[in-house]
Chains A and B, each alone.
Chain A
Amino acid sequence: MSAILEASNLAVAMGGKTILQPLSLSFPAGRFVALLGPNGAGKTTALKALAGLIPATGNVTLLGKNLAKLAPRERAKSIAYLPQGHAVHWPLSARDVVALGRYPHGVADPAKLSRRDAEAVDCAMARTDCTHLAHQPVQVLSGGERARVMLARVLATEAPILLADEPTAALDPRHQITVMDDLKGESRRGALVIAVTHDIALAARMADEIVLLHEGRLIAHGPPDAVLTDAHLAEIYGVSVARPIIDGQPVLLPWRLS
């Protein structure tokens, strides 16, 4: 399988301090990848470097093209990035926020979308179940609703690569599952989805691949069973896990400090 996104010797240093040690990773299209690691492991940094949003050394290639050499709009058409926190600084309507996902495609005014752009916006909102929120200002939405609107914004770009930084943080269990389901759905439609998360159990259950980082270093990259071993979890998270069988499937459960 040929890689859609490839990093070779990607490293990040800020203020003379190395935040991300050189790492090389390669991802094919259509996979759902969870980026795991304890706080301070460099997950967000790695994600931003992969998105080309922060200065980094090494190379990221996007469908064989050097990411650093792409024009910002071209890069934005290929990589949709969902930052942490879901901040919106003005009380824009949900639909206007989602329409910003079409900005890389040259949409200047969300009030005047072309049919193609409107279709992408409506489709993204339908997929994340927020069509009914379209005309509400995002500021009045609940955390779960806002998370869905922000996810729709990223989907509206229709980028082949989707990077999400803790998309389930501060969400109730229902919305955690909804958002992860939506992201997985995108990967099944052919996109490469990489999501940073702290939810080891959800990642183990849903992701195709796990990338495990610790103190700025790549520890392991592979299928969940191969990466989320007792040894890794004890060494990196300092926890021991239980693996009860639910619905015939082993479920990973952080149990106690190891």
Chain B
Amino acid sequence: MTERTGQAGAGAPKAQRLWLVPALLGLVIALFLASLATGPVRLSVAELLAALLGKGDEAHRVILMDIRLPRAILAVAIGFMLGLAGAAMQGLLRNPLAAPSLFGAPQAAAFSAVVTISLGLNDALSWGLPIAAILGAFASVFLLVAIAGRNASLLLLILAGLAVSSLAGAGTALAMNLAANPFAALEIAFWLMGSLEDRSIRHVTLVLPFILVASVLLYLQRGAFRALSLGEEAAASLGVAVERLRFIVILGVALGVGASVAVAGTIAFIGLIAPHLMRPLVNHDPARLLLPAGLAGAALLLAADIAVRIIPAQSDIKVGVLTSIIGVPFFLLLIVRQRRSLAGGVA
């Protein structure tokens, strides 16, 4: 990381960038309002405000409160969760390429959701799918601990995570394979792409408590992430209960990201990109990274969700597809940078 650290060194030594969090908050609020204004029915700012305050045209109120507001809230909450979870995972693993899906929770959540779809237990208003997905995420934590054992090393946990996510992936494929009819298979395929369309306020109330608890759980570990910069041994000698920390992160990520998958399907790359964009702005401090990474995640998902509504296409593009399309080149860029820094000999 020679070059980038060189830049950090050249910057003002004590630059705290106090504007960062307020600026990101402003961006999220602006995108939130833009998201409310985006859709087939054009709403002026005045109409928007009136509808928000419960006044004005009845149809506008319904469009805003029942269709656009849940969608925008979910984008903020889920984007925040993914960004924060990514930053936490990268802090735990001390690796900028770690993603929230590493321990298999999102895949397990997706698998349980897919099972409810293929069994036909899911209808538009059913609680079945999201609850099954959250249970799936929880089950993945138990499976992970069962495979790797309590007090497992990080390497063992990553291997166990690979096993859990592969198993969930295989199960998902099997569910599609055995789907009763082509429509079920198609529904699964579309659901897996990840979308915030047609979500109701009930989805919001379902997912929000999980995201809240998970965010607090992960945010409270920030000091430990900073101590982990020195490696697990040194962190342990500083009084960090490293094994407990690992478990809390796994649990927090499963809770938050599992609940996110439960209502929105799989949305890739936000958890990888958001922390990485923010890292140079917080002087690479893994603790100070958490909040900005969450806010950046919220802004990214809001922007992507606005984009899928604006981009002209025959059928609408799913937001999870868009984040993947944008995310892959970014991921490649990350790898190239990593390669360069390794070639530089400073690891």
Contacts and interface: CB of A to CB of B under 8 A. Distances in A.
Interface of A: 48, 51, 53, 71-77, 79-83, 85, 87-93, 96-97, 100-101, 103-104, 107-111, 134-137, 139-140, 153, 157
Given A91-B284, A108-B223, A140-B9, A53 B237 contact: yes
Contact of B285 (A79, A92, A157): A92
B222 A93 contact: no
A103 B143 CA distance: 33
Contacts of A134: 13
Given A73-B239, A76-B237, A103-B238, A88 B230 contact: yes
Nearest to A157: B238
A136 B9 contact: yes
Contacts of B95: 89
The DSSP consensus for interface residues of chain A is mixed
Contacts of A53: 233, 236-237
Contact of A79 (B2, B94, B237): B237
A122 to B, nearest CB: 14
Given A97-B230, A139-B5, 19 more contacts: A48-B233, A53-B236, A71-B239, A73-B239, A81-B237, A83-B231, A88-B229, A89-B94, A90-B284, A91-B1, A93-B283, A100-B238, A103-B240, A104-B238, A110-B226, A111-B14, A135-B14, A137-B8, A137-B284
Contacts of B231: 83, 85, 87, 89
A137 B236 contact: no
A134 B283 CA distance: 14
A96 B227 CA distance: 10
Given A87-B231, A90-B229, A139-B346, A103 B239 contact: yes
Nearest to B237: A81
A53 B231 CA distance: 13
B4 interface: yes
B287 interface: yes
A62 B192 CA distance: 56
B228 interface: yes
B4 A91 contact: yes
A76 B229 CA distance: 17
